[in-house]
Amino acid sequence: MNERRATDRQASLRNYIKLYLILIRTSVRSRMQYRFNFAFGTVLAAIIQLSEFLMIAIVLAKFGAVRGWTMHEVGYLFAVMTLAKTLYRTFGNEVHNLERYLVEGELDQLLTKPLPVLLSLLPRGFRIMFGEVIQGGAILAWSLGQMLHSGQISWWAIPQTIFAIVTGGVVLFAIGMATATCGFWTTRISMLQNMTEDAAQTAARYPLTLYPGWMSGLLLTAIPVGLVGYLPALYILRGELGLWVFPVLAAASCLVVLLALRFWKFGISKYQSTGS
Amino acid sequence: MISFRSNTRLYQTLAAKAYARNIQYRGSHLLHNFASAAFGYLYACIWIGLGRDHSLGDYGTIGMLHYITFTQTSLWVASFTTMGLGIPQSVRTGQIALDLMRPVHLFAHLMAKEWGQIAYQFLYKSIPIYIVMQLALGLTPIDGGRTLPLALTALAGAAYMAICMNYMMGISALWTTESSWLYWGNQALMNLLAGFFIPLEWLPGWLQTVAWASPYPFMLYAPTQFYLGKGDPVLLLGTLAWCAALTLLCMLSTKALRHKVEVQGG
């Protein structure tokens, strides 16, 4: 009996994954119907990202270092955060846009589908963010290249960085989902997103030692954006802490996403439609 | 021929209605201000951190805190205006055809509404954020507030330029479904070329040249220099010239819009 239940569960998981991939393909196809718009958006996204990095680069060019962190090290923090955010927004953009579903009552339609809400929600906003990938990848390649050349880091830094980007993406997704869940009570979440996503991610592009103790503590625990770039960079770039950073990052990202999922489930059980 | 002058009362009413519509949500917006002030505080922390290891030129750490406080406050007047003045939505719903049929010029109509929005944002966003940041950073208004009249005059010009730029970005919705990217691109340029976070004289030479060839420095940097008591009143001439040039471009783009718009059933 138990074996049969386990087989059924595996089969339904396989079906969900298959369905998820089909929905993603549909979403990509619909976007590619407007090729000029796609190219236009990609170019502008890259320019926006570049201008954001220029702002940081200019500060570093003017002052040399930020609290002992060189331009390449801060470039690394910026690039890891950009790529982790890109990963989160590629797969989880609709979680970030949940307010629209709540305000316009679109969530009610998703609730009537014979699928978990997250599964029908996530593929809708799937988008390929070439602009961000190109720009984040270029800054990462530049900063890693310079540090490899100077002997500050070894080639091991590359797989370690990829690991940090993946766990970072998961952490950002968890923060985004937990923030969005508050919308089941408050409906409007943009203000909260400004604090937990926009401001927090901007803060974590710089070394956390810039901030007062209470703020860096907050960015490592309550809104753990410090786990995305800063914590792995301490080991990968500066040889501080130890190899234990990686299992800790893996465990922390699993923990935050599980907590966020539980919160989401609880939140959705309390959801009341805004009506139409 | 559509007259601009004969509709003064209409424009006043449109502005007043936009203001009144916003005031319904002032409680929620006042809460929103904490998020904006948090951003300002974050940028201030970066300059405090930098100021610990480096001298911050003529500004000094306190000067940079004043600088960030004023630019963060000014964003709600000079930058966070309605995306494309609402034209992209009008294009999508077809409302634009009706708007063009009205006996008022589209630019003047949308501008009047936006002035109401900006007046609201100034009172319920800029001023509270300014007060919160002054308190959080332990600052007092520069020169007892005597620099404010000139700074606010320059800021009013910046608001007008923001309206013009958003109008043109809105009109681009007739050619692309991705006009929102122009809005975000404009925000990014505001951060970089308007001197939102870094005073323009600290930018590399080539970028300073690019910045001064655009209207951006007159949108944040010039008002902030007036606030800090460092601005040359001649800068106001630059604001005036850009206001005139952008108005002309808005008129020309309205002509292009009228040629482009087509109604497909209903």
Place of tokens 């976007």: A31
Q: A210-263, pLDDT tens digit by residue?
A: 888 888 999 999 999 999 999 999 999 998 888 899 999 999 999 999 999 999
Asked if B222 and B238 count as a contact pair (C-beta separation under 8 A), the reply is: yes
Determine the residue among A43, A211, A219 to mutate to test chain B binding: the one whose Cβ has the most chain B Cβ atoms within 10 Å: A211
Q: List the single residue in B with minimal CA-CA distance to A53.
A: B192
Asked if A147 and A237 count as a contact pair (C-beta separation under 8 A), the reply is: yes
Q: Please name the residues between 50 and 109 in chain A that touch chain B, using a CB distance below 8 Å.
A: 51-52, 54-55, 58-59, 61-67
Under-70 pLDDT residues of chain A? 1-2, 274-276
How far, in Å, are B1, B19, B58 from residue B7 at the CA level? Answer: 13, 19, 48
What is the torsion angle, in degrees rounded to the nearest 10, for the CA atoms of residue A99, residue A102, residue A105 and residue A109?
100
Q: Classify each residue of A53-71 as buried b or exposed e, where b means 16 or more C-beta atoms within 10 Å of its C-beta.
A: bbbbbbbbeebeebeebbb
> In Å, how far is A37's CA from the nearest CA of chain B?
6
Q: B163-174, pLDDT tens digit by residue?
A: 999 999 999 888
- Mean pLDDT over B28-32 rounds to 70
Separation CA A268–CA B7 (nearest Å): 50
Are B38 and A37 a contacting pair at CB < 8 A? no
Confidence of residue B207 (pLDDT cuts 50, 70, 90): very high
Separation CA B260–CA B257 (nearest Å): 5
Partner A contacted by B259 (CB < 8 A): no
Q: B91-120, pLDDT tens digit by residue?
A: 888 888 888 888 888 899 899 999 999 999
Q: How do the domains of chain B map onto residue ranges?
A: 5-260
Query: In A, which residues are within 8 Å of B204 by CB distance?
Result: 58, 61
Are A52 and B202 a contacting pair at CB < 8 A? no
Separation CA A18–CA A141 (nearest Å): 34
Are A40 and B181 a contacting pair at CB < 8 A? yes
Separation CA B60–CA B50 (nearest Å): 10
Asked if B71 and B195 count as a contact pair (C-beta separation under 8 A), the reply is: yes
Separation CA B202–CA A54 (nearest Å): 12
Separation CA B3–CA B6 (nearest Å): 6
- Pick from A179, A182, A204: nearest CA to A193: A179
Q: What is the DSSP annotation of chain B?
A: ---SGGGHHHHHHHHHHHHHHHHTTHHHHHHHHHHHHHHHHHHHHHHHHHHHHS--TTTHHHHHHHHHHHHHHHHHHHT---GGGGHHHHHHHTHHHHHHHSSS-HHHHHHHHHHHHHHHHIIIIIHHHHHHHHHHHT---GGGGTTHHHHHHHHHHHHHHHHHHHHHHHHGGGT-TTHHHHHHHHHHHHHHHS-SSS-GGGS-HHHHHHHHTSSGGGTTHHHHHHHTT---TTHHHHHHHHHHHHHHHHHHHHHHHHHH------
> In Å, how far is B87's CA from the nearest CA of chain A?
18
What is the torsion angle, in degrees rounded to the nearest 10, for the CA atoms of residue A199, residue A200, residue A201 and residue A205?
100
A89-98, B2-11, B194-203: the lowest-pLDDT one: B2-11
**H/E run at residue A60:** helix A35-63
Per-residue pLDDT at B12? 86
Partner A contacted by B35 (CB < 8 A): yes
Asked if B96 and B137 count as a contact pair (C-beta separation under 8 A), the reply is: no
Confidence of residue B28 (pLDDT cuts 50, 70, 90): low
Q: Number of residue pairs across A and B with CB atoms under 8 Å?
A: 92
> In Å, how far is B221's CA from the nearest CA of chain A?
15
Per-residue pLDDT at B169? 92
Query: Does residue B4 carry a pLDDT above 70?
Result: no
Are B39 and A202 a contacting pair at CB < 8 A? yes
Residues in chain B: 266
Per-residue pLDDT at B105? 87
Mean pLDDT of all residues belonging to chain B: 88
Residue A221 DSSP code: T
Q: How do the domains of chain A map onto residue ranges?
A: 34-269
